[in-house]
Amino acid sequence: MVKKIFSLIWQYFRRLDKLLLLLTVLICSFSVILLYSLVQNNMTQSITSVDVTLDYTDYRNQAIAALMGLAFSIVVAVWDYRKFSKLWFIYLPLTVGLTCLTFTSLGETGLEGADDRAWIMLGGFSLQPAEFLKLGFILSFAYHCHKTREIFNNPLNILGLCVHAAIPVGLVMLQGDDGTAIVFLAIFIAVIFAAGISWKYILGAGILSPIAIFIMWNYYLQPVHKNRILAILDPEKYATKDILYQTNLAKIALGSGQLRGKGLFGGDYSYVPVCHNDFIFSYVGQTLGFIGCLGLVILIALICLRTLGNSLRSSDPLGRYICVGVFAYIFSQSVLNIGMVMGVTPVIGITLPFVSAGGSSMLSATASMGLVMSVYYHSSKFDTLFAKKK
């Protein structure tokens, strides 16, 4: 009996994507250490104009969320993604329903002065349901593409896929969370490309894009949103306006660390609003300098590349679509967040995956790695290997 248990454990670790797990543990550990540094410096008044709402509770919540997410991802790796994805009628309504609760009395803004209503209070905990909706959308949309692959480029099927994507995009846009809406669009585009969408639809989308942009600009975007975009295109014109307040402070903080940074503790740090959340990359620049920023970018890039690599090892198109969806999620959100700090993308209130403070964000990112590890665990390489042994 004991021998059989050890055999099962050995088989599990042999099939597990240990490299992706190691990369995930490294970036989660980095996040916890970085947030502890920020909390410690905040409590000791090392940061000018400190954020008095930041305390050790934020650090503990981040550590707990990281441990829970890593444990969940290790368990999810064993589950067959092919069976789990078929349960879309359970997880998709659940995540959509949670997101809809943000429009009820349970809904609230995450930060004072924020213009989005994307959080709910459940049992004394603040949750951002859209983070979990990302996972539900990746799984269900990948399964939708997989089930209709024989008629994928049929016009009615393409219309159905667009409606499938429009539901989460529309919900988060109604919340005012345009950054997350862009991430959903990135997932949608990446997966349909992986599924082999016809160039005719790509050409049609290219022709219709200017019309869609015109409608969005004139009938959807509020003046504050337009100013955020225009400020990136012409920063000198908006230099004296509040629209670039956070970005300017973030760029100063980012550059103040120079090559090696001021260190994690005891330095003379510049204050950046919500630097523990949306602007965490500016704090990386302050404390660890250019070397630290480069190291973090490389770590995120390795996670993205490993995720794409697992898509190539997949036993079927479904696994490939899931991996591509997770890649689009991590990659697009990282680019938007880092670009926001550097002043090359508008300030749209979006977190840096694995790194920014926030339990929902951490759980979503780590759980997505579990989906990718499940694809690796059940890849054709291992299925063939263990089938021969039997």
pLDDT digit string, tens, across residues 301-340? 999 999 999 999 998 999 999 999 999 999 999 999 999 9
Mean pLDDT of the chain: 87
pLDDT grade for 236, boundaries at 50, 70 and 90? confident
- Whether residue 132 has pLDDT greater than 60: yes
- Kindly state whether residue 388 falls inside one of the protein's structural domains: no
- Whether residue 49 has pLDDT greater than 70: no
| CA-based nearest residue to 371, from 134, 165, 185 | 134
Q: What is the pLDDT of residue 380?
A: 63
- Kindly state whether residue 335 falls inside one of the protein's structural domains: yes
- Kindly state whether residue 340 falls inside one of the protein's structural domains: yes
Q: What is the pLDDT of residue 386?
A: 46
Those residues with Cβ within 8 angstroms of residue 37's Cβ, 6 or more apart along the chain or in another chain: 264, 265, 287
pLDDT grade for 271, boundaries at 50, 70 and 90? confident
Residue with structure tokens 């590890």? 373
Q: What is the pLDDT of residue 52?
A: 46
Residue pair 185/169 in contact (Cβ under 8 Å)? The answer is yes
Distance CA 37, CA 202 (A): 47
- Kindly state whether residue 121 falls inside one of the protein's structural domains: yes
- B/e letters for 259-293, b = 16+ CB within 10 Å, e = fewer, are eebbebeebebbebbbbbbbbbbbbbbbbbbeebb
- Whether residue 190 has pLDDT greater than 90: yes
Q: What is the pLDDT of residue 109?
A: 62
Tell me the helix, strand and coil percentages in the chain, rounded to 5: 70, 5, 25
- Kindly state whether residue 204 falls inside one of the protein's structural domains: yes
- Kindly state whether residue 390 falls inside one of the protein's structural domains: no
Distance CA 118, CA 13 (A): 38
CA 313 distance to own-chain centroid: 23
- The most confident of the ranges 2-16, 120-134, 192-206, 212-226 is 192-206
Q: Is 107 helix (H, G, I), strand (E, B) or coil?
A: strand
Distance CA 276, CA 270 (A): 13
- Whether residue 50 has pLDDT greater than 60: no
Residue with structure tokens 């991802």? 73
Q: Which of 9-13, 171-175, 262-266, 345-349 has the lowest mean pLDDT?
A: 9-13
Distance CA 390, CA 383 (A): 11
Residue numbers of the domain that contains 104: 18-379
Q: What is the pLDDT of residue 381?
A: 58
- Whether residue 227 has pLDDT greater than 90: no
- Read off φ and ψ for residue 127, nearest 5 degrees: -120, 150
Residue pair 330/300 in contact (Cβ under 8 Å)? The answer is yes
- Looking at per-residue pLDDT, the higher value among 194 and 41 belongs to 194
- Whether residue 71 has pLDDT greater than 90: yes
Q: What is the pLDDT of residue 347?
A: 85
Rounded to two decimals, the pTM is 0.92
Distance CA 215, CA 328 (A): 26
Q: The sheet that has 125-127: what strands, in order across it? A: 107-108, 119-122, 125-127
Q: What is the pLDDT of residue 159?
A: 96
Share of the chain above pLDDT 90, in %: 55
Q: How far is CA 173 from CA 62, 170, 183, in A?
A: 27, 5, 11
| CA-based nearest residue to 333, from 170, 112, 172 | 172
Total count of domains within the chain: 1
- Whether residue 114 has pLDDT greater than 90: no
Distance CA 182, CA 9 (A): 41
- The most confident of the ranges 13-17, 163-167, 214-218, 270-274 is 163-167
- Kindly state whether residue 9 falls inside one of the protein's structural domains: no
For the chain, how long is the longest CA-to-CA vector? 74
pLDDT grade for 390, boundaries at 50, 70 and 90? very low
- Kindly state whether residue 13 falls inside one of the protein's structural domains: no
- Whether residue 298 has pLDDT greater than 70: yes
